[in-house]
Structure 1
Amino acid sequence: MLAGTALRWGTKHGLMRAGIRAAARKGDEQARFFNDPAVRADPYPFYASVRAAGPVVRGRLMWATARHDLAGAVLRHDAFGVGFSDRAMPGLVGAVFRYSRRSSPIGPVDPPSMLVTDPPDHGRYRRLVSKVFTARAIEGLRPRIEQTCAELLRDKPVDLVADFASLLPVTVIAEILGVPLDMRRQFLAWGNAAAPTLDLGLGFSTYRRTEVNIKRVNDWMRGHFARLRREPGDDLLSQLVQLDDLSEDELLATAGLLLAAGFETTVNLLGTGAWLLMRHPEQLAVLRDEPQRWGNAVEETLRYDSPVQVTARVCRRATEFGGARIEPGQVVMSMLAGANRDPDVFEHPDEFDVTRANAREHLSFSGGAHYCLGAALARLEGEIGLRMLFERYPDLRIDGEPHRRTTRVLRGFESLPVTI
């Protein structure tokens, strides 16, 4: 098993890790995103430098754009996709990769996950689950979300992430999917362990740790599917396991992604939103005077400090884009968080303003065919969660040193100590 893990790491991250280091030694600016601690701590000056360098900037590893118009356009352009073909790998590397995949666990960035699948399969998977995430269906969850918030806020939070921001979304998605609530903290632990797989160039020890935890999720899910086939409920997974449309791997990938995506970004949204409002009491005062703005405050949080910072697309056919010619197989990084601070779209973009009229024009939920399926749910949980948090504890304050997550693609807090 260790040999297989090493082979998978080498082809998925090891080669990229070496490429990033080589590019950094030669002064490649984009390589800083992957390995500079200062960029991880505060990526926004870096995005501004990419935006100032041109519409689409070429690095040694990939192209990148931090302009709002182009970052959004690449997500919708039919010349770009998300699926990665191992056939594009050099002969021996591709063969090793295919061999190592035989016993590989299925994580959020492994086929057949929707996250890395292009049409027509992507549309097939999405249609099977989309009815649960319609605006009407999500609005019907409002009473249950409010009840869950009230239950969680009965006890004074000490760490806002551990005691509230993580437990609210994982409780909601667990109920939607029909997984046991007493598994909530285990799901959070598994999700946190798998989150680094969205980054590029992981070290071997980190990758090995993610694989171990993804395999544990896979094993638990397979057992859960068997239980639901014997005793189905009214939840989404009970419906999916009864279908003939999905293979076991497709079912595993879909369920695992829905579970992880159902809480990962919302944990970051709630933690970041609370942190911003505690640091900007004048903005919190606006919301107390005008509570109808809570929804817009969520949009401004998403714009100002996006839970998902970047996403990538692979060119499928040669195309002119942003004044540059992109060749098949080349990658374009769409810097969502950078686009959300584009001064051509957002006036005074580095200011946090809950009254911002066009805050909803952010790209934090991606776009095109891969627009976030759970966007409406995240918005509702963010609005209810932040409003009820500050209604219950109006004098909430940061108490100690917050710690950010070490991931690059996902941005949020690992811990956020608070006091009343």
Structure 2
Amino acid sequence: MKSWIRWAVLHGLPRRYLTMRARDGEPLPQILMGSGAEQDPYPFGDRIREQGRLVRTSITWVTADHEVCRKILRDKNFGVSTPDTLELPRPLLRLVRATDLKLANPIEPPSMLMVDPPQHTRYRKLVAQEFTPRAIGRLHDRIVEVTDELLAGLAARRNADLIEDFAKRLPVAIICEILGVPKEEQDYMLELGHAGAPLLDVGISWRAFSRAIAALRASEEFIEGHVARLRVDPGDNILSELAVSGILTMPELKATAALIAGAGFETTVNLLGNGMVALHEHPDQLDLLRAEPDRWPGAIEEILRFGSPVQLTARTALCDTEIVGHPIARSESVTLLLGAANRDPAVFADPGAFDVTRANAREHLSFSSGVHSCLGASLARMEGAVALSALYERFPELRLAGTPERRGLVNLRGYQRIPAAPGLPAVRRTV
């Protein structure tokens, strides 16, 4: 009953209202509810941008403007959006607090994703050492090794699913090593992470919510057991250091581990899947990369811009403030359409074109900006460049063997399945 009440307040009531507004043709509710936006959300973002740089809707403020998004993400007058910062009506806020499930949820405090400085600063400093350029650089050889192992597995298949057999496997292997999770438990970690992904959407169904909560409970039990093992037998990984040091409370430690695990592979899985489909649909760009492989790092930036793995986020005004001439009152929220901002024609020429030579592709907001910029951005970029360049080098005859299937999520935009026929592999590359 507690879970159902929580769903009703956080998702059920918003779902009913958003569905009505979507039927009335409002673009933001259409995006949030996937009303025609699941396959292509960008025309809806264009409609919002045509209304102004910052638009007041029946729900919230919204922007698809690149400059406005970046400004708000970096503005200390804005913080993360939670029931407390939004100042929900007292009866609803009391229900939210009374139904707190006390789970290690990456999208609820004390997750680093959902707290502001100074609490956020404290958490981030504790894990930042694992994601410095030097630390990421040390992972390069391991990323190459895992990639080659996965490609060897593809070579033995006449038909494959590039998501299940490749895109999922690389990032989960690397993030599990960062967290000290044994190889035999990687599949379980992957399953739990994907099951909780719908919680980043707004107005999800009770069925999706209940499945996600069940996954969070299982994940919490796993993390507690894993932390207990690391305290007895610590390894050379960030979670061992945090577990042994005792610097974090158990709820903080579980939330940090859950966030690293989920964020560590969700973005990269979508990056790889979106990239493979974009290159399939633009063979001239793939031919260019094969002829000039030094362009792969730039191509990863264009993939991130063209098909942002994370489509939106929200910020709440911490005080009365003003953005591009619009007064924003304390506790009012702004929905930032990151994917649409990445196609802002004021910043990116011919934004609907996929161009791996685009000079300013790195200006995308797919990794957010400001204090909440993605800690693992460098890792995701490296995994993307290594994995995709190796895939197309190893399998020059790679082709899709069916229509790619979307995940059916709004915020984490990617593919559930990409059927493919790898073809005969080229001579194994040397590293």
The TM tier, using the shorter chain, reads over 0.9
Amino acid in the other structure paired with 2:344: D
User: Does the 8 Å contact 2:305/2:343 carry over to 1?
Assistant: yes
Cα RMSD for the two superposed structures = 1.3
Pick closer, same or farther for the CA change 1:148–1:25 going to 2, 3 Å.
closer
Matches within 5 A, 1:80-91: 80-86=78-84, 88-91=87-90
Determine if the alignment matches structure 1 residue 272 to structure 2 residue 271.
no
Matches within 5 A, 1:12-31: 12-31=10-29
Matches within 5 A, 1:341-360: 341-360=343-362
Deviation at residue 86 of structure 1 after TM alignment: 3.3
Pick closer, same or farther for the CA change 1:185–1:15 going to 2, 3 Å.
same
User: Does the 8 Å contact 1:402/1:413 carry over to 2?
Assistant: yes
In the other structure, the counterpart of 1:50 is 48
State which drifts further: 5-14 or 233-242: 5-14
- 3-state DSSP class of the match of 2:380? helix
Following the alignment from structure 1 to structure 2, what is the Cα–Cα distance between the partners of residues 36 and 259? 26
User: Does the 8 Å contact 1:310/1:409 carry over to 2?
Assistant: yes
Following the alignment from structure 2 to structure 1, what is the Cα–Cα distance between the partners of residues 103 and 9? 15
Count of aligned positions: 417
In the other structure, the counterpart of 1:96 is 95
Amino acid in the other structure paired with 1:13: H
Deviation at residue 27 of structure 1 after TM alignment: 4.5
State which drifts further: 280-289 or 258-267: 280-289
Amino acid in the other structure paired with 1:119: P
In the other structure, the counterpart of 2:306 is 304
User: Does the 8 Å contact 2:45/2:337 carry over to 1?
Assistant: yes
State which drifts further: 18-27 or 150-159: 18-27
Matches within 5 A, 1:368-379: 368-379=370-381
In the other structure, the counterpart of 1:240 is 242
Amino acid in the other structure paired with 2:411: V
Deviation at residue 83 of structure 1 after TM alignment: 4.5
Deviation at residue 273 of structure 1 after TM alignment: 0.8
In the other structure, the counterpart of 1:128 is 126
In the other structure, the counterpart of 2:227 is 225
In the other structure, the counterpart of 2:382 is 380
TM superposition score normalised by structure 2: 0.94
- 3-state DSSP class of the match of 1:153? helix
Determine if the alignment matches structure 1 residue 38 to structure 2 residue 36.
yes
Matches within 5 A, 1:185-264: 185-264=187-266
Deviation at residue 26 of structure 1 after TM alignment: 4.9
Following the alignment from structure 2 to structure 1, what is the Cα–Cα distance between the partners of residues 102 and 95? 13
User: Does the 8 Å contact 2:348/2:360 carry over to 1?
Assistant: yes
User: Does the 8 Å contact 2:22/2:35 carry over to 1?
Assistant: no
Following the alignment from structure 2 to structure 1, what is the Cα–Cα distance between the partners of residues 172 and 305? 23
Matches within 5 A, 1:287-298: 287-298=289-300
- 3-state DSSP class of the match of 1:30? helix
Deviation at residue 19 of structure 1 after TM alignment: 2.7
- 3-state DSSP class of the match of 1:242? helix
- 3-state DSSP class of the match of 2:184? helix
User: Does the 8 Å contact 1:269/1:307 carry over to 2?
Assistant: yes
Deviation at residue 90 of structure 1 after TM alignment: 1.9
Following the alignment from structure 1 to structure 2, what is the Cα–Cα distance between the partners of residues 366 and 23? 28
- Paired-residue identity, %: 45
Following the alignment from structure 1 to structure 2, what is the Cα–Cα distance between the partners of residues 200 and 106? 19
In the other structure, the counterpart of 2:429 is none
In the other structure, the counterpart of 1:283 is 285
Deviation at residue 183 of structure 1 after TM alignment: 1.5
Determine if the alignment matches structure 1 residue 76 to structure 2 residue 74.
yes
State which drifts further: 168-177 or 280-289: 280-289
Matches within 5 A, 1:121-200: 121-156=119-154, 158-200=160-202
Deviations 1:100-129 (A, max 9, x none): 11x432211111001111111101000000
User: Does the 8 Å contact 1:51/1:66 carry over to 2?
Assistant: yes
Following the alignment from structure 2 to structure 1, what is the Cα–Cα distance between the partners of residues 83 and 312? 21
> Which consecutive residues of structure 2, in runs of 5 or more, have no partner in the other structure?
424-431
- 3-state DSSP class of the match of 1:14? helix
Deviation at residue 22 of structure 1 after TM alignment: 4.0
Amino acid in the other structure paired with 2:39: A
Deviations 1:191-238 (A, max 9, x none): 111000001111111111100011000011001111111111111110
Deviation at residue 36 of structure 1 after TM alignment: 4.0
Determine if the alignment matches structure 1 residue 119 to structure 2 residue 131.
no
Following the alignment from structure 1 to structure 2, what is the Cα–Cα distance between the partners of residues 413 and 308? 13
Deviating beyond 6 angstroms after TM superposition, the runs of 4 or more aligned structure 1 residues are none
Following the alignment from structure 1 to structure 2, what is the Cα–Cα distance between the partners of residues 85 and 133? 30
- 3-state DSSP class of the match of 2:334? strand
- 3-state DSSP class of the match of 1:40? coil
Following the alignment from structure 2 to structure 1, what is the Cα–Cα distance between the partners of residues 24 and 38? 20
Deviation at residue 391 of structure 1 after TM alignment: 0.7
Following the alignment from structure 1 to structure 2, what is the Cα–Cα distance between the partners of residues 106 and 155? 34
Structure 1 residue aligned with 2:409, among 403, 407, 410? 407
Amino acid in the other structure paired with 1:192: H
TM superposition score normalised by structure 1: 0.97
Following the alignment from structure 2 to structure 1, what is the Cα–Cα distance between the partners of residues 295 and 95? 54
Following the alignment from structure 2 to structure 1, what is the Cα–Cα distance between the partners of residues 324 and 15? 28
Following the alignment from structure 1 to structure 2, what is the Cα–Cα distance between the partners of residues 245 and 10? 36
Deviation at residue 33 of structure 1 after TM alignment: 1.1
Deviations 1:342-381 (A, max 9, x none): 1111111111011111111111000000000000000000
User: Does the 8 Å contact 2:299/2:357 carry over to 1?
Assistant: yes
User: Does the 8 Å contact 2:295/2:356 carry over to 1?
Assistant: yes
Following the alignment from structure 1 to structure 2, what is the Cα–Cα distance between the partners of residues 337 and 90? 31
